[in-house]
């Protein structure tokens, strides 16, 4: 009997549980651009700090995957989505449908970029530059220096959070049924693995340097071994030749 359950058909057993934490941040350095928190009776301060650490560590090796789920404490899971130089991260209950969490992040990405687009379009210097407006949006993200510079987008994110509170709502059930993305290919890790990675990556340079030094020593040692191998191979022949020369010298000249 097949016991595999697809979240597209299991939403009827799930209670209402909104995305608890939402961050939008710059990928290159983890700078938070906006953060939004749903009303919850739980103390999520630890998870908020973990979210910031995840964002800081994401681009530390320059090869972050586009989507990932990260298990943490209190039966919670982080999900993040990377689009260009922007990271969209949320925290949900472990029982919240993974597919729906990533659909939520995709919609957050859409409304956030639309918010920035509208902000630029409303300024006089951009009224006649609509064709290049999206380039300006990404440039704005890249050049922003102040954390939470777009906190005014929080109400927009809050509205989107409310839309995703109930996984079994008609709207969300339809989204799940229409979505064809393969969530099984999304990498899943534990929070300790992700946060330890940042510390370990700091030592990569030193480790690489040590490996280079060791390889040089190995190379020099290999040369020495090769030289001694040749000595061992030809020494008996050289000794025999020298012995013959000495015998001939004694016989004919002494």
Rounded to an integer, what distance in angstroms lies between the CA atom of residue 23 and that of residue 87?
8
Q: How many CB atoms lie within 10 A of CB 251?
A: 8
Q: How many residues does the chain have?
A: 254
* Residue 139 or 237, more confident: 139
pLDDT in the model for residue 177? 83
- Residue 222 sits at φ, ψ, to 5 deg, of -65, -40
CA distance 112 to 192: 30
The angle at the Cα of 51, spanning 48 to 52, to the nearest 5 degrees, equals 95
Tell me the C-alpha distance between 96 and 91, whole Å: 10
> Measured on CA atoms in the order 26, 179, 104, 13, is the torsion positive or negative?
negative
In degrees and rounded to multiples of 5, residue 171 shows phi and psi of: -60, -50
Q: 39, 20 in Cβ contact below 8 A?
A: no
For the stretch 173-204, pLDDT in tens is: 888 888 766 667 677 778 887 776 554 544 44
pLDDT of residue 12: 40
Please, which pLDDT band fits residue 225 given cuts at 50, 70 and 90? low
Token pair belonging to 242: 């020298």
Q: How far, in Å, CA of 11 to CA of 33, rounded?
A: 32
Q: What is the pLDDT of residue 60?
A: 66
* Strand 187-190 relative to strand 67-72, pairing: parallel
Which pLDDT belongs to residue 211?
A: 56
The whole-angstrom separation of Cα 65 and Cα 58 is 9
Sign of the C-alpha dihedral computed for residues 82, 83, 84 and 88 taken in this order: negative
Write out the H or E segment, with its range, that includes residue 131: none
Distances (CA, A) of 30 to 12, 56, 115, 116, 225: 37, 4, 20, 18, 50
Residue 151: the pLDDT is 96
**DSSP secondary structure code for residue 148 in this structure:** T
Whether 115 contacts 130, CB under 8 Å = no
């Amino acid at each position: 009997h097949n016991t595999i359950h697809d979240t597209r058909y299991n939403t009827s057993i799930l209670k209402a549980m909104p995305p608890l934490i939402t961050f939008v941040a710059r990928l290159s350095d983890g700078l938070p651009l906006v953060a939004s928190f749903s009303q919850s009776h739980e103390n999520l301060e630890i998870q908020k700090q973990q979210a910031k650490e995840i964002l800081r560590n994401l681009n530390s090796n320059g090869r972050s995957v586009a989507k990932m789920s990260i298990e943490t404490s209190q039966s919670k899971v982080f999900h993040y989505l990377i689009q260009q130089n922007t990271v969209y991260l949320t925290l949900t209950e472990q029982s919240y449908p993974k597919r729906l969490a990533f659909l939520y992040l995709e919609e957050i990405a859409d409304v956030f970029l639309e918010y920035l687009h509208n902000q630029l379009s409303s300024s006089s210097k951009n009224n006649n530059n609509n064709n290049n407006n999206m380039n300006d949006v990404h440039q704005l993200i890249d050049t922003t220096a102040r954390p939470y510079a777009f906190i005014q987008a929080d109400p927009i994110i809050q509205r989107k959070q409310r839309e995703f509170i109930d996984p079994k709502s008609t709207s969300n059930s339809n989204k799940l049924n229409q979505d064809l993305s393969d969530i099984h290919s999304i990498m899943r890790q534990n929070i300790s693995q992700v946060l330890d990675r940042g510390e370990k990556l700091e030592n990569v340079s030193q480790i690489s340097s040590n490996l280079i030094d060791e390889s040089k020593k190995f190379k020099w040692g290999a040369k020495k071994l090769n030289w001694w191998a040749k000595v061992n191979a030809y020494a008996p022949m050289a000794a025999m030749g020298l012995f013959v020369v000495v015998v001939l010298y004694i016989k004919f000249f002494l």
